[in-house]
Structure 1
Amino acid sequence: MRAFDAIQIYFDAAAEHLDLEPAFREALLMPQREVQVQVSIERDDGSLANFVGFRVQHDNSRGPMKGGLRYHHEVDLDETRALASLMTWKTAVVDLPYGGAKGGIGVNPRELSHREIERLTRAFVDQIHDIVGPDTDIPAPDMGTDHQVMAWFRNQWEKYHGFQPAVITGKPVEQYGAKGREEATGRGVGMLTFKLVRRLSRQPKETRIAIQGFGNVGSHAAKFLHESEFPVVAVSDTTGTYYKADGLDIPALFHHRLQHEHGLLAGYTDCEVLPMNALLELEDVDVLIPAALGGVITEDNVDRIKASVIIEAANGPIFPAADKILYERGVTVLPDILANAGGVTVSYFEWVQNRQHYRWTLDRVRQELDHTMSSAFENVWQTSQEKDLSLRTAAYMIGIARVQRATELAGLT
């Protein structure tokens, strides 16, 4: 199934409850603009390399468009379109004054040198600089990119448009970035996991966690949950599943990841090492947190998923057919458009600070993040309970209704 088709299924389920007319549904769902560019760079050995880059701008009815910049070999127009629409509903669910966008380049960054990634970033900016900006479309880090890529992006964009750090978020703190931005998505995942577990009348110490993916999001989520006394019994990355029945030593794993190339866990020995895909199907797990790629839970493996709660830290980790089966089984799924919204929330805080030329403390960033995410969670939870709907449908209804209202107020219908 194509990624955008999956989003449309979730969208349509919520739109039915909102009684949206078909033409208006199409207007809200389809992107406003899609850009595909060729990005050519000189490799370190003097050869020429060509890549394809994308920027999809989905909706700006509630404010400037906002969305990550992804460097991954599977990036294509369909995925970028789907993720751009997700950003529209995500920013609306947490009530940020943004719309949705997404961008990326089809490349494996591990196959490029540091200088080649810089040249790639600058060449991409050369192609799209005139369609992004602090009042139109604000990129941010995503899979395969980080604060350094954001610094290069900003520097190249400012060569055309002058000093304006608010053009991009997720920058280094020394380059007007926000404190707490790197931890934000994972911290938000951890916070909402805690809130959902308490809503389900569970105790943290008795709730066993498994996290698929131990990159930036998964590792910070694990750190927060460990500090909140949850036993994190399994984590995984491309090198395998690292399992310990009585709970992993997350600080030790975190340190190991930081000390090894590409942040991989290979070589960590204080646990049992299982195949990479084993994590999804572990028997003794209460909460499963997919924090890697999308589409990892499908009709083919959904019957082997044992967790009773799933937190979507990744974008689109559950295909619609599997999501329906899980709902019918009574599995509680916290959807991606809420669960992983911590990153864009702190990106918003960074943008606000840049526009005000004023810096917040880390404590204030965390307090504001907690307030924003908690308010959104309570809104989605109450809607779900009152209307007897899944948390996903409730979240989409809230997001779509806010975008619908903004569009109508603008007089475009």
Structure 2
Amino acid sequence: MTTTMERGFGAGPDDREAGNREPLLRMTWTDPVTGAHGYLVVHTSVSGMSTGGTRMRAGCTMSEVEDLARGMAAKTAVFDLPVGGAKGGIDFDPKDPRAVGVLERFCQAMRPWLDTHWVTAEDLGVPQHLLDEVFGRLGLQQSYHAAIGRSADPERTLRRVHDALNAPVPGGFLLGDVVGGYGVAQACIGTMHAQGWVPSETTVAIQGVGTMGGGAAWYLHEAGVRVIAVADALGTLYCADGVDVPALLALRDGYGEIDRSRVPPSVQQWPVGAVIGVAADIFVPAAISYAITTDNVDQVVAKVVIEAANAATTPEAEAVLTGRGIPVVPDFVANSGAVAWAWWVLLGHVGVDPDDSFLRLRTEMLAKVAILLERWVLYGAAPRRTAWELVAAHHSASVPADPLAVQVLTIP
């Protein structure tokens, strides 16, 4: 195993956009068995702690992980969480039979950070149950280990986290698997309210049917919204009258792909990229980063884009959309429900009752999206700019003198 590490100290807390600030740390790891590269980027640290998921995909780069860590720093700030932002990434195919071994060796190499400074969770290609299995084999019990270890009663906090993640919700799902998608659905509903649209008359197209996209589709369907298209790695499924979301989600395999042999004939099957051009009121990219670029932005005909995937729209493409009058609700607001909820659970702000979690997330997401869309409607202010202003207003802790110093963080 080899690692390389860089540290940097960026601009101060008055920087409105975290994108103008250098990360605290960039680390590159090389797997001694497969030669795969892994990355850890710590963008900000609060009380010596940062949070952000670990993803695995072929082609993952340091630049990608750095963008995602920057987004995590914004998410924790906009929800006023007592933690900084980080991200892990591994350049490896999660379908490769060696993938679990690569993930375990990566976590072992990151052990000094995972022990006390970095709280990680599921992300693209790395489901939470697999991550927790790896942590268990490493003697760390659960991927929130670093935060749990700081609590007054670690065993009680671990039980609360475990029970909350595994709390059953309607549809046969677990709360930890769908809470992020629920937050995205609320971002969509908040947008409808701001635009004066009736949910039952609003159409949505969703790229991705994993935990985020699938959860969003489920809860939009439950709210009476017409989901007219969903897309996975195999293609786009479209029905002008609305797809049967529960039925299609029930056809997913372990990789989040829908069994095409069982899709009803009323649903049209289009190419993968066709979902971007679906004439829906709202388009939700919920699968991959950089889904909307200058190469395909002209295909977007939706009235609003809501980013459920991290860094779903490149800056250049977003500028084009904004110029065309299409607002983009940024990822660090729309898909931040999962990280906000995880820390509410850790801090004891919510318990194991899903209704309490849904109520808090719904209340906070609707309020934040209302601010973004109100300023867009009244003044033409891009939602991302307004969101960065929320970050500046709520990011009470910037880069401390010693970014790894363990300061007071109370976890009951």
2:61 is equivalent to residue 69 of structure 1:
no
Equivalent residue of 1:256, what SS?
A: coil
Q: Which residue of 2 aligns with 1:154?
A: 135
Question: Cα gap change, 1:64/1:28 in structure 2, threshold over 3 Å: closer, same or farther?
Answer: farther
Which deviates the most, 122-131 or 177-186? Answer: 177-186
Question: Cα gap change, 1:276/1:172 in structure 2, threshold over 3 Å: closer, same or farther?
Answer: farther
Q: What TM-score do you get using the length of structure 1 for normalisation?
A: 0.81
Question: Cα gap change, 1:120/1:199 in structure 2, threshold over 3 Å: closer, same or farther?
Answer: same
Gaps of 5+ in 2: 1-10, 149-157, 168-174, 403-412
Aligned length: 372
Question: Cα gap change, 1:62/1:27 in structure 2, threshold over 3 Å: closer, same or farther?
Answer: farther
Question: Cα gap change, 1:209/1:94 in structure 2, threshold over 3 Å: closer, same or farther?
Answer: same
Preserved CA contact (<8 Å) 2:120 2:143? no
Q: 1:142 aligns with which of 112, 119, 123?
A: 123
Q: What TM-score do you get using the length of structure 2 for normalisation?
A: 0.82
1:130-186 per-position Cα deviation (integer Å, ceiling 9, x unaligned) = 12235x210110001112222134324436xx89963379x9999455231210111
Letter in 1 for 2:298: D
Preserved CA contact (<8 Å) 1:40 1:120? no
| TM-fit CA distance, 1:273 | 0.4
Question: Cα gap change, 1:90/1:99 in structure 2, threshold over 3 Å: closer, same or farther?
Answer: same
What is the CA–CA distance in structure 2 between the aligned matches of 1:165 and 1:411, rounded to whole Å? Answer: 25
| TM-fit CA distance, 1:68 | 0.5
Identity of aligned pairs, percent? 28
Equivalent residue of 1:407, what SS?
A: coil
| TM-fit CA distance, 1:101 | 0.2
1:183-225 per-position Cα deviation (integer Å, ceiling 9, x unaligned) = 0111100011011111100111211111011111111111111
Q: Which residue of 1 aligns with 2:172?
A: none
Preserved CA contact (<8 Å) 2:178 2:212? yes
Preserved CA contact (<8 Å) 2:194 2:374? no
Q: Which residue of 2 aligns with 1:3?
A: none
Higher helix share: 1
| TM-fit CA distance, 1:248 | 0.4
Q: 2:72 aligns with which of 87, 90, 93?
A: 87
What is the CA–CA distance in structure 1 between the aligned matches of 2:214 and 2:393, rounded to whole Å? Answer: 34
RMSD, aligned CA? 3.0
Q: 1:123 aligns with which of 87, 93, 105?
A: 105
Letter in 1 for 2:246: P
Q: Which residue of 2 aligns with 1:329?
A: 324
Letter in 1 for 2:89: G
Q: 2:363 aligns with which of 347, 359, 371?
A: 371
Preserved CA contact (<8 Å) 2:281 2:304? yes
What is the CA–CA distance in structure 1 between the aligned matches of 2:379 and 2:290, rounded to whole Å? Answer: 28
Gaps of 5+ in 1: 1-11, 42-48
Q: 2:228 aligns with which of 221, 224, 233?
A: 233
What is the CA–CA distance in structure 2 between the aligned matches of 1:224 and 1:177, rounded to whole Å? Answer: 19
Q: Which residue of 2 aligns with 1:253?
A: 248
| TM-fit CA distance, 1:368 | 2.3
Mapping of residues 248-397 of structure 1, within 5 Å:
248-257=243-252, 260-265=253-258, 266-270=260-264, 271-282=267-278, 284-353=279-348, 359-381=351-373, 388-397=380-389
Q: Which residue of 1 aligns with 2:197?
A: 202
What is the CA–CA distance in structure 1 between the aligned matches of 2:47 and 2:317, rounded to whole Å? Answer: 32
